[in-house]
Amino acid sequence: MKRFYKRFMCMLLALVVVCATPVFAITNADVMRVFKKVHQDPNFLPQLYAAVPLYRELSITNESVNAKFKDTIRTVLNIAEAEKEIKNLRKDNFEQRMRFTTINTAASMEAAYIALCTDAFSAESVATLLNGDIPKEFEPLYNALVSETYIILGFSEDGKLTHVFDDLAGYAWAEEAITELFNRDIINGVSDFSFAPDAKVTREQFAKMLSLAFAIEPGPKQPVFSDVRETDWFYPYVTTMASRDLILGIGDDMFGSGQNITRQDMAVLMFRIGEMLGLFDRSNSRTSGFDDDRYIASYAKTAVITLKENGIIQGNELNCFNPTMPATRAEAAQMLYRCYQFANK
């Protein structure tokens, strides 16, 4: 009876191998990198190989063990890639989804293989896995899958996304800033995988970015803007910034909600925060050194010069700052990230 059971399980194993053809683009190199990590564990694979002599009659060899585990790894990686494609796999649930995927793959497709290796692993360990947990003996496989899947699917090893948005081609100069600010929950995309880097930034949007980046707390003033209502999503950010005189509005009790923010106005807001936090002293220079310096408004001149001297803002390839141009989302992210780095160095 025991021999019949083992032969039946072996046939089931063969069927699983045939049905487990990968659908997505995980490469052999990805699989081998994970498999190499599993090999490096001093106990995991040797335990499996220890069971092999017991099943010589079933043609179970070290090579077939290798092949089966490569198939297991490829299956888990393909499922993870598919989940990312349908947006079920994000940075905030990566570990949970990987655990679920690994356990369910092992508990269903690999059930036959695990049964064949019960002499290598304790009955308690197999029961633990089949009941939805990862037993201690299987942690090397799970940890290797998690750490490598971070990399393969565009995550860093601390769980942050290294590739967030799919529309940043041509914006390599801003991708690090966008990604880092996204990982810190300071900026968002316009959808799960789109950032719209060339879209314009409104005054209230930049107020929110600044408020979150520098953890601004409400000040003593009670600001009132006629175009900022308590029901507006940006109300807490604008009023918090205004309560500390970091935002002054555009006059006539108007904040200017809905208006695109200019590059020089972004510089002014970051300069005020920098002064409040004691990050730098205001410059005594009279010129920024930009070729369009004469177009910088008098109220923004000191801010632009000071931020430039501290490496927070830069000109374009023509050495122009374009002070009155509306800022794009990519430009806002880049300037804000440099200021954030400066404050946290």
* 159-171 confidence digits (pLDDT tens): 555 666 778 889 9
181 against 58, higher pLDDT: 181
Q: Which one, of 119, 117, 114, lies nearest residue 102 by Cα?
A: 114
Residue 330 has pLDDT above 90, yes or no: yes
What is the per-residue pLDDT for 160?
Answer: 56
pLDDT of residue 24: 41
- Map tokens 């041509």 to a residue: 170
- If you average pLDDT over residues 97-111, what whole number do you get? 70
Quote the pLDDT of residue 145: 79
Mean pLDDT of the residues in the chain: 80
- Of the listed ranges 3-12, 70-79, 142-151, the one predicted with least confidence: 3-12
Mean pLDDT for the stretch of residues 317-341 = 95
Taking only the tens place, the pLDDT of each residue in 275-311 is: 999 998 888 899 999 999 999 999 999 999 999 999 9
Once rounded to an integer, what is the mean pLDDT over residues 61-70?
70
Residue (of 8, 3, 14, 43) closest to 125 by Cα position: 43
Residues 100 and 85: their CA atoms lie apart, in Å, by 17
Q: Does the pLDDT at position 259 exceed 60?
A: yes
pTM: 0.59
CA–centroid distance for 77 within its chain: 18
pLDDT digits (tens, 9 = 90+) for 181-229: 887 889 988 876 689 999 999 999 999 999 999 999 999 888 889 999 9
Tracing tokens 């529309």 back to the chain, one arrives at 167
CB burial of residue 333 (10 Å; 0-12, 13-18, 19+): buried
| Per-domain boundaries in the chain | 2-152, 172-343
